């Protein structure tokens, strides 16, 4: 446990084994392990909104599982395209490092989220509105995403210095990941659990498309 | 299978189109491997494209079971679209290449084009899981059309970049011709041309287009200019025929309001349909 936390500290500082440019020296499973370790902490707290019955406690567990699931499933869908485009731009030799950089970004996001969990719990404690809870979580995710970006850029900067084409792949990854991630998050609802809705792992309604729903909201089609 | 993927990997890594590999003006790309490979990659994207019928079936929007044939239809039609367009256009592409001073011979031109189609379909296939994921959770036809167009556009631009880059590498004048001209200017002094609208400039960063320092820059500029002309004519012909080919082979996605058909009745053409749609949109008619 202590060694795991020490590793996390090193990772946050980008030091020791986690110094940019030392991709080959560290074991590959550390970054996924961090996502699996820290993601559920925030997920559980996010699902603790309106915790007034034993069933709602189940939602904490569901949300805990769903945060890393969201990150991993999105990555898996984007990876084939990322791999082929990297290869085409002549960056295949760096692919291991590029993959570690994007995983590091997600690990950074998970750790930042976990560190914000007490703040979210405090917010739920002081404010009962579901809408406010939605907005607050959106704000926390935005903040954590920024932290993830900082971590990812730390590793990508080394790559870009070596081969400038990595800049294109960085932008491509962010674009693909955001595009798929938004829909994935939409499909994996509920994360917070609207009051009055039954507790379930996934909403019991036909699958729908987040972008179409937003377009309908805006244009009223 | 593994051998096929190895060949594909060689192409994607750029080893088959590196300046050293193209030094003798030949492309080392086996058509026997790459035509089936392109077909397989196209089938992968087409397969995910056809999932829309499954999505409609599941959601009950259009629950007729015969719609599910669309999955098979799209799987077959998508590679057909690209390869049939190549069959129809290849003679003219070859002639215009020869006419404008392209260096590649008959078979090498075919190899180059099959390579570009393979790159196009490989990128499309690699984006297939994203398409499949969205298709299964979407019933909106317009969204699916836009997403398919967007993904194929990305793949198309990447392939165009590959094609232009390879054409330029094949373009430089033969070394012995260049050597006869006294070298007045320092070799490789002029910068590369800027990217054209259809070729993202990033492809010029991959590596210097010409490594042979015996070629005089002025000759190289001329050769690059020719390569660009050939490229522009090729894109024009291929795009026009491809658009009409897509029109004949439709439906690819399958409109929820129309019954399943392997092919729609052959009426009109792509360009007429575009004009009619624009007129409808603007309220002229």
pLDDT recorded at residue A93: 92
pLDDT recorded at residue B64: 86
Q: Do A176 and B130 touch (CB under 8 A)?
A: yes
Q: Is the predicted pLDDT of residue A216 greater than 70, yes or no?
A: yes
CB atoms inside a 10 Å sphere around CB B182: 6
Q: Which of B131, B135, B137 has the most A C-beta neighbours within 10 Å, making it the best mutation to test the interface with A?
A: B137
Mapped onto helix, strand or coil, the DSSP state of residue B160 is: helix
Q: Which of B82, B53, B1, B51 is nearest to B255 (CA)?
A: B53
- Token reading at A119: 């703040």
Q: How many helices (H) does chain A have, and how many strands (E)?
A: 7, 0
Q: Which of B201, B135, B208 is nearest to B169 (CA)?
A: B208
pLDDT recorded at residue B258: 87
State the burial class of residue A155 (Cβ atoms within 10 Å of its Cβ: 0-12, 13-18, 19+). buried
pLDDT tens digits for A124-154? 998 888 889 999 999 999 999 999 999 999 9
Domain boundaries, chain A: 2-219
- Check CB contact of A195 with chain B, cutoff 8 Å: no
Contact B24, B65 (CB under 8 A): no
**CA B53, CA B59: separation in Å to the nearest integer?**
10
Cα-based angle B55, B57, B58 (whole degrees, multiple of 5): 65
Q: Do A209 and B138 touch (CB under 8 A)?
A: yes
- How many beta-carbon pairs below 8 A join chains A and B? 76
**CA B264, CA B251: separation in Å to the nearest integer?**
7
Q: Which of B43, B64, B66, B67 is nearest to B53 (CA)?
A: B67
Q: Do B119 and A88 touch (CB under 8 A)?
A: yes
Place of tokens 């094609």: B163
- Check CB contact of A165 with chain B, cutoff 8 Å: yes
End-to-end CA distance of chain A: 53
Average confidence (pLDDT) per 10 residues, chain B, 285 residues: 90 89 84 94 95 88 87 95 94 89 85 95 96 91 90 94 90 54 44 43 41 64 85 91 89 88 81 80 71
Distance from CA of A202 to the nearest CA of B (A): 13
CB atoms inside a 10 Å sphere around CB A106: 25
Contact B206, B262 (CB under 8 A): no
**CA B255, CA B78: separation in Å to the nearest integer?**
17
Q: Which helix (H) or strand (E) holds B92?
A: helix B69-99
Listed in sequence order, the residues at least 6 apart from A195 whose beta carbon sits closer than 8 Å to its beta carbon are A50, A130
Q: Do B137 and A83 touch (CB under 8 A)?
A: no
Q: Is the predicted pLDDT of residue A23 greater than 90, yes or no?
A: no
pTM, 2 dp: 0.82
Contact B83, B38 (CB under 8 A): yes
Q: Do B123 and A84 touch (CB under 8 A)?
A: yes
Q: Do B129 and A84 touch (CB under 8 A)?
A: no
pLDDT recorded at residue A221: 55
- Token reading at A23: 């991709």
């Amino acid at each position: 446990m202590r060694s795991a936390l020490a590793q996390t500290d090193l990772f946050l500082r980008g030091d020791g084994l986690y110094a940019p440019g030392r991709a080959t020296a560290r074991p590959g499973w550390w970054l996924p392990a961090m996502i699996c370790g820290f993601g559920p902490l925030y997920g559980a707290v996010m699902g603790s909104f309106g915790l007034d019955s034993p069933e709602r406690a189940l939602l904490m567990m569901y949300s805990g599982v769903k945060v890393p699931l969201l990150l991993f499933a999105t990555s898996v869908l984007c990876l084939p395209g990322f791999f082929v485009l990297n290869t085409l731009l002549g960056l295949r030799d760096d692919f291991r490092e590029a993959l570690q950089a994007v995983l590091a970004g997600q690990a950074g996001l998970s750790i930042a989220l976990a560190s914000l969990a007490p703040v979210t719990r405090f917010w739920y404690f002081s404010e009962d509105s579901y809408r406010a809870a939605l907005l607050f979580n959106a704000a926390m995710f935005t903040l954590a995403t920024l932290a993830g970006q900082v971590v990812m850029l730390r590793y990508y900067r080394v790559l870009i210095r070596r081969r400038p084409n990595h800049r294109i792949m960085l932008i491509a990854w962010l674009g693909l990941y955001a595009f798929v991630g938004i829909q994935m998050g939409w499909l994996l609802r509920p994360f917070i659990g609207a009051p009055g809705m039954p507790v379930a792992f996934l909403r019991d309604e036909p699958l729908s498309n987040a972008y179409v729903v937003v377009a309908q909201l805006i244009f009223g089609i | 299978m593994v051998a096929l993927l190895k060949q594909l990997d060689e192409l994607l890594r750029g080893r088959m189109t590196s300046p050293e590999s193209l030094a003798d003006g030949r492309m080392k790309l086996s058509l026997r491997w790459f035509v089936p490979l392109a077909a397989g990659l196209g089938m992968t994207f087409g397969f995910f494209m056809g999932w829309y019928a499954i999505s409609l079936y599941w959601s009950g929007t259009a629950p007729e079971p015969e719609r599910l044939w669309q999955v098979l239809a799209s799987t077959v039609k998508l590679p057909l679209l690209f390869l049939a367009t190549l069959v129809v256009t290849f003679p003219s592409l070859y002639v215009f290449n020869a006419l404008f001073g392209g260096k590649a011979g008959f078979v090498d031109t075919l190899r180059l084009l099959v390579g570009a189609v393979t790159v196009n379909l490989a990128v499309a296939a690699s984006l297939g899981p994203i398409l499949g994921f969205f298709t299964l959770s979407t019933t909106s036809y317009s969204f699916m059309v836009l997403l398919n167009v967007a993904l194929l556009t990305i793949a198309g631009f990447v392939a165009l970049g590959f094609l232009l880059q390879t054409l330029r590498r094949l373009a430089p004048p033969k070394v012995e011709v260049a050597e006869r001209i006294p070298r007045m200017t320092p070799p490789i002094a002029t910068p590369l041309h800027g990217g054209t609208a259809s070729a993202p400039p990033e492809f010029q960063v991959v590596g210097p287009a010409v490594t042979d320092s015996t070629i005089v820059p002025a000759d190289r500029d001329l050769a690059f200019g020719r390569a660009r002309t050939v490229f522009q004519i090729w894109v024009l012909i291929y795009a026009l025929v491809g658009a009409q080919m897509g029109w004949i082979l439709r439906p690819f996605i399958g409109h929820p309001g129309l019954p399943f058909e392997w092919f729609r009745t052959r009426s009109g053409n792509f360009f007429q349909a575009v004009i009619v749609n624009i007129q409808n949109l603007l309220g002229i008619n």
